[in-house]
Structures are given as C-alpha cells and as structure tokens.
Structure 1
Amino acid sequence: MGDLLYTFYGDDFTGSTDVLEQLAEGGVPAILLLREPDEALLKHFGNARAIGIAGDARSQSPEWMDAHLPRAFAALAQTGAPVVHYKTCSTFDSAPHVGSIGRALDIGARELGGIVPILVGAPHLGRYLAFGTLFARAGDVVHRIDRHPTMAHHPVTPMHEADLRLHLAKQTDARIALTSIDRIQAGEAESFFLQAVDDGADAMLFDGVDEPSLVAVGQVLLAHQRERFRFAVGSSGVTRALIHAWHAQGIVPPPITLPRAAPVDRLLVMSGSCSPVTGAQIAAARASGYATLQADVDALLQGATDEEERLVEAAIRELEAGRSLVIHSAEGPLDADTPAAGAAIGAALGRVSRTLVLRSGLSRLLFAGGDTSSHGIAQLGLDALSWAAPLERGAPLVRAHASEAALDGLELVLKGGQIGKPDFFETVRLGG
C-alpha cells in the first residue's frame, strides 16, 4: 500500500460516505472498509489511494473510544499513509459523555504524535468556521450552530456552544491554537501553524469559510504531514483541502466526468431520523405514491422480534406490489422528554432491511439518519463500500462489496438527518 495518500476513520457511516464523495470528485480511487483492515482485505483493494474505516464512535462513550480507537488508528497508520484523519460531522456535535471529539483527539495525538490540525469548515456543505465560531446552513439561512433550528436541539448531542475551542474544552485538556480567517487570507496560515508547533500547542484549529481558505490550509497540511503531524481531526473539509493540494502539486490528475446512476423501479428507505428535514422527505414521498410504515419504537426497544416480523411482512406486500416504501421510527422532531435510542432503532431497522433485500431482490437501499446508518448497515454483513455516483451533496450513491452474493453490488445511500431536498427519496430512486 505504498501509494496511499490518506486514510480516515469516520465517526459515523454517513460522514464516511461524504469522504468517499469528496475523493471521487477529486479523482482519487478510494475504498471504505466496514471492519478493521487485514492483509487480505487491503490486498483485495490494492488499487485504492485512500482507505477509510466506517465507525460509530459518534454514538459511543469515551470508555468505548479508549478501548477501540487506538487499534483502529494503528491499523490505518500501518498502511504507511502519511495522514490518519478522524472524520467528524461538519456540525461538530459531540459531548463529554458521548461522541467526544476531544477524547478522539487525545487518543490520536497519543498514538500518532505531533500537533493535531483541526479543520471543520466545509463550505461545500454549508458549514463555515470564522474566528473559531461554527455556522451551519439550514435551508436558505445560515445560523450560528448554537442557534441552529435542529443542531441546537439534537436529541443526543445538542450544540450549546459555537466557539469550538470552548466546546472542545469540555472534552479535552489539549491546548488548541487558532489560525483565524483574516490570518489565512493574509497568507499567514503556515507561519501561524509553525508558531503553534514551536509554542508546544497540542492542536491547531483552522478557520474555513470558502474554497480559497481550504486551498491555503491544504497547502500547509501537505507540506508538514509526517514531519509535524500524522493525525488530523475534522469534517470532509480536511479531505477537500488535501485534494486541492494534491491537484496543485500534480500528485493526482484532474478528476474525470462523474458517471450518473440509473433509475430503479423500487426503493426501500429505512429512517430512524427525527430531523424535520427527513420528516418533510417522508411526507413528500408519501404524497408521490410511496407506501409508509410506522415502526412501533417501544416494541423495537424491548427487543420484540414480532415487531420486526410485522414490518417485514407488511413491507413485502408493498414491495411485491411494485411500490417504493419508507419504514420510519419518527416523522419529525421528538418530544423533549423522549429518550434517544438511535443505536437500538438503527440496529433493528438494519435487521429488517437485510431480510427485505434478501427476500425481495431490491437493488437500492437508503438509510436516513446518522445513527440509523451506522448501526443499520452493520447488520447487513458487508465488507466494504465504494463510491458509485453523485446524487446530492453529502449523500452519494455507494456500492457494497460482500462475500454474500445476494448483497454484493447492492447500492446504498447513507443520508444524515439534515441532508437533502424534500424530494430526495425520489432523487435516489431515479439516480439523480
């Protein structure tokens, strides 16, 4: 694997496929592994120049991270790639007790050494970091993240602090310097980075508000990888910044025209999202003729297999009638006192989806919701995913690789709760 440019660990599955999309657009062959790599698996995908591991750390405790992330980071580092990227959501939602980005930062710094660059801004996704403060687009309006209509009220990791250094200070004792956007625009990103190294900072947070700022940061990252850092934290802005640098240096050729996906006659959507964006998509799908099935969440949480069987049998009837179908646990935001249970719901919906794919011969499947995607796809028994075609920014079509013939080649979309226009489900079915 001597030609590898970059490796990453996605803290959830939707974010991991976002990286695949960036790499595909940049002309970089990549593979996303659904388990830690071994020699045989790496050899099978020997043409890749970027390798990722899709994880679910975003929904896990710091103790879980202590037990699992060192091994994952070491496996990626052993490929010989110069960079291991801990890929976070561009909304950076996390908390000291769950999905702690600070704990992941500490582990990566300890295992791989060097200062840790942090780049969260992802203007291609409507996420902007200015003077250390995070903003995110919702519809046509950009909100400070602690005033965002969804992320400020996330059921698991609500964002109550927009200054990311203050946000991380609740999760780590790392000393975090800042290269602000005015310094980047003045051409001083590298000098600020090197000064932080000399001053003994543990991490450097870079602002990012537009493509030129990502270009400038990418040049710094490429110039100092291996020597001053091997581990980076942040959104797919990290990936995009590096791609800009690879193109500028002629390390990878300009990307080719991306293929388009063909339509399918039926689409199965498994939604555990409680986002109002996904709720609007469910309503739009129903209006356009999709069948919808509401899951009994209490029964799923109690482990009632008869509820999973009910969903399967009802779904089979709709699919055999030629209809596309949405199975959902919610349709919009939950009540404030409703406990979050994304992992359990995602796993249950994953088991249902596996049965339906095997019984119905479906060729395309959509998971909606970050936890749903991470815990649902883990039930399918896949080895890896590769990019297949663009659909909508942040939610590409990907292709499954599996030893089980009925699942090998299955097309998937893993959609975060906030991603997509109201007609997104039909966009997925039609292939764009």
Structure 2
Amino acid sequence: MERLLYAFYGDDFTGSTDVLEQLAEGGVPAILFLRQPDAALLARFPDVRAIGMAGDARSRSPEWMDANLPPAFAALGTSGAPVVHYKTCSTFDSSPQVGSIGRALEIGQAALGGVVPILIGAPHLGRYLLFGNLFATAGGVVHRIDRHPTMARHPVTPMDEADMRLHLARQTGARIALVPIDRIRAGEADADFVKAAENGADAVLFDGMEEADLAAVGQVLLGHRGFAVGSSGVTRALMLGWRAAGIVPLPPELPRALPVERLLVLSGSCSPVTATQIAVARNGGFATIQADVAALSAGSLVEEERLAEAAVEALNGGRVVVHSAEGPLGEDVPAAGATVGAALGRVACQAVLRTGLKRLIFAGGDTSSHGVAQMGIDALSWAAPLERGAPLVRAHAQEPALNGTELVLKGGQMGSAGFFEVVMRGG
C-alpha cells in the first residue's frame, strides 16, 4: 500500500460515500471498509492513497461510542495517514443522547491528540457556516439550520440551534474557538488556529462559505497532523491543499455510469425530498411497496419475507421502491431508523441473491448505514458520478452474487426529484 494521505471514519454510510466522491474527483484512489480491516483485507487494495471506515455512530449513544470508537480511531491512527477525520453529516445533526459529535470529538482527541479542527461548511452540498452559524439549502432556498424545513423537525436529532458552538456545548465540555469568515479571508486562518491553541482551545471551528474559504482552511489542515472533525468539506479542503502543493494530479476525466434495466430502491427516509422522489418514481412507472413499519419495528420476519417476495416479483417489471414512509412521521410515531434500516437491508440482500440484481439504492442515512451492514459487504469503492453527494459505488464481497453490485447510498436531503430514474439511466 502506498503512503496514505488521509484516513476517515464516517458516522454514517451515505456521508462516507460522499467522501469517496470527493477523493475520486481529485484523483485519489480510495477504499471504504465496512468493518475494521485486517491485514488480509488491506492487502486486497494495495494502491489506495486514502482509506475509510463506514460506521453508524450517527445513530448511536455516547456509551456505544465509548466502546466502539477508540479501537476504530486507533486503527486509523496507526495507518500512517497524517490526518484522521471523523466525518459527520454536513447538517451536523446530533444530540447529547444520539450521535453526539461532541463525544466523538473527545474520544478522537484522547486517542490521537492535538487541537481539533472542525470544518462543517460544504459549499458543494449547499452547506454554509457564517460566524459560527450553520445554514443549509432546501428546495433552492438557504435556511438557517434551526429553521430548515426538514432538519429542524428531524425525527431523531432535530436541529434547534444554529450556532454550532452552542450546539456542541450541549454535548461536550471541550473549549471551542472560532475562526470567522473575515479572518479567513484576511489570510489569518493559520495564525488564528495557532493562537487559539496557545490560549487553551481544545478545538477550533472554521467558517466556510465558498471554495476559496475551504482552500484557505486546507492549508491549515496540511500543517496539522492529527484528528479533525466535520463534513466532506474537510475532504474538499484537503484536496484543494494537496492540489496546490502538487501532491495530487489535476482532476481526472471521470467515467460515466452505464444504464441498467432493473433497479430496487429501499427507503426508510422521512424526508420531504425523498417523498417527492418516491412520488415522481411512482408516476414514472416504478412499482411502490409500502412496508409495515410497526411490524418491522417489532422484528417481524413475516413482514420481511413479504417485502422480499413483493420486491422480487416487482423486479420483473424492472423498477420498484420499497418504502417505510412518504414524508415526515407524525409526532406520535416512534423513530425506528436502525431497526427498519436493518430489515430493509435484509430485504435488499434477498432480492440480489434471488434475482441477480446489479444496482440498488438505499435512501436515508440510517437506512443506508444499517441496511448495507446486513449485506455481507467488506468494502466499497467509487464507481461513477451521478448527482452531487450521491455517487455510484461498487461492492467488494466474498459472496459472488454481491461482489460488484452497484449501490447508491442517498441521504434524505440528497438528489433531484427524478433521482431514481437518473440512477437507472446512469446520469
């Protein structure tokens, strides 16, 4: 394996494939492991320059993190990569009880040391940080995150605070400084980072509105060996820094995905964006199968088998969506993302094994993380671009029927209204 430039732990699977996309666009070969890699697994990918581990910490408790993140960070820390990145969703949704980014920051700093840079802004995804406040695009309109039509009402981790220092203060006692946009654009990002460290900061949050802001922060990251937290904006910033330093080549010509005749979509997303995609798909000829969420939440194998049989039959027509919801759940409906996602993953696995299906979509962050984990896949590599933040990836598995399967792991907020059709035709 060549000397690694970068290693990351994704707190969900959709965000992890977003990192693969950023690396592929920059000409950096990378592999995403779905379990902690041993020597034999690493040896299968000798030419990569970046490695990742896809996890589901976004939906886990601090106690789970205490048990599971230290060995993951230790493994990545011994890889030789100068930067180990805890990759979060660009909407930074988390809470003290679920997906605590603050707790992950503490664990990573304890394992790897140093003052922790935090970069959330990802202009390529419509995510912006301005004077410490997070904004995100929805329907072409930029909203403060606590007024975002979806994230402010997220069923598990609703975002009711836009100032990310205050948001993190609920999750950690770490002292967090800010390098605001005016200081970044004055060329003082590195000096302010050093000053914050000297003044006792545990972590430093960087604003980011445009790609030039990420490029400036990238120069800071190149001089920082250790642990970093944030969205794929961290990856983008590093890529810009590597390119400016001549470490990576100019962007390569990217391949185009080929069309397929059959597609299965597994959706546990409650996002209005995904609801629109399901409606457009139905109008465009996709069969749609409604899951019994209560039965799946109760662990019903009968319901799983019903969904698998229905999906296999519907694939004779070429295209099908199996979904648990169409839009936000009612306030009296308990969130069950992990259980439903795992069940949909088993349905997907059965469909692939029974039909030889070669391409499928998981829609929803929790659905993707818990669903793919059920499929016996060892690793994922980037295959081709589709739409920003939701690339086509390829599975590497010991099971021949699963090896080479193409997947799209789509966050709830990602994709155009006709995204499912886009995935079928290959862009």
Instruction: Give the TM-score, by structure 2 length.
Output: 0.99
Aligned to 2:281: 285
Cα deviation digits, residues 283-315 of structure 1 (max 9, x gap): 000000000000011111111111111111122
Does 1:4 find its partner at 2:14? no
CA-CA distance at 1:126 after TM superposition: 0.2
The equivalent of 1:44 in structure 2 is: 44
Does the CA contact (< 8 Å) of 1:2 and 1:81 recur in 2?
no
Secondary structure in 1 matching 2:266: strand
- Asked if residue 390 in structure 1 is aligned to residue 385 in structure 2, the reply is yes
Gaps of 5+ in 1: none
Structure 2 equivalent of residue 178 of structure 1 = 178
Query: 2:152 is matched with which residue?
Result: 152
Separation of aligned partners in 2, 1:304 and 1:114: 47
| Secondary structure of the structure 1 residue equivalent to 2:385 | strand
Aligned to 2:113: 113
Aligned mates of 1:206, 1:429 — CA distance in 2:
38
Structure 2, gaps ≥5 residues long: none
Q: Structure 1 residue aligned with 2:297, among 298, 301, 309?
A: 301
Deviation at 1:37, TM superposition (A): 1.5
Q: Report the 3-state secondary structure (helix = DSSP H, G, I; strand = E; otherwise coil) of the residue aligned with 2:248.
A: coil
Q: In the aligned structure 2, how far is the partner of 1:217 from the partner of 1:304? A: 49
The AA in structure 2 aligned to 1:12 is D
* Structure-to-structure mapping, 1:24-423, within 5 angstroms: 24-223=24-223, 225-226=224-225, 230-320=226-316, 322-423=317-418
- For residues 403 and 60 of structure 1, the distance between their equivalents in structure 2, rounded to whole angstroms, comes to 28
Does the CA contact (< 8 Å) of 2:2 and 2:47 recur in 1? no
Q: Which amino acid aligns with 2:307?
A: L
Give the AA of the match of 2:277: Q
Indicate conservation of the 8 Å contact 2:2/2:46, yes or no.
no
* 1:380 alignment partner AA: M
CA drift at 1:2:
5.2
Q: Over the residues paired in the alignment, what is the CA RMSD in angstroms?
A: 0.7
Name the CA distance, whole Å, in 1 between partners of 2:2 and 2:32.
Answer: 18
CA contact (8 A) 1:6 1:49 kept: yes
Secondary structure, counterpart of 1:240 in structure 2: helix
Q: Secondary structure at the match of 1:400?
A: strand
Are the equivalent residues in 2 in contact too, given 1:2–1:80 (CA < 8 A)?
Answer: no
Query: 1-side partners of 2:349 and 2:335: how far apart?
Result: 24
Q: Distance in 2 between matches of 1:356 and 1:105?
A: 39
Consecutive aligned runs of 4 or more in structure 1 exceeding 6 Å deviation: none
1:368-417 per-position Cα deviation (integer Å, ceiling 9, x unaligned): 00000000000100000000000000000000000111100000000000
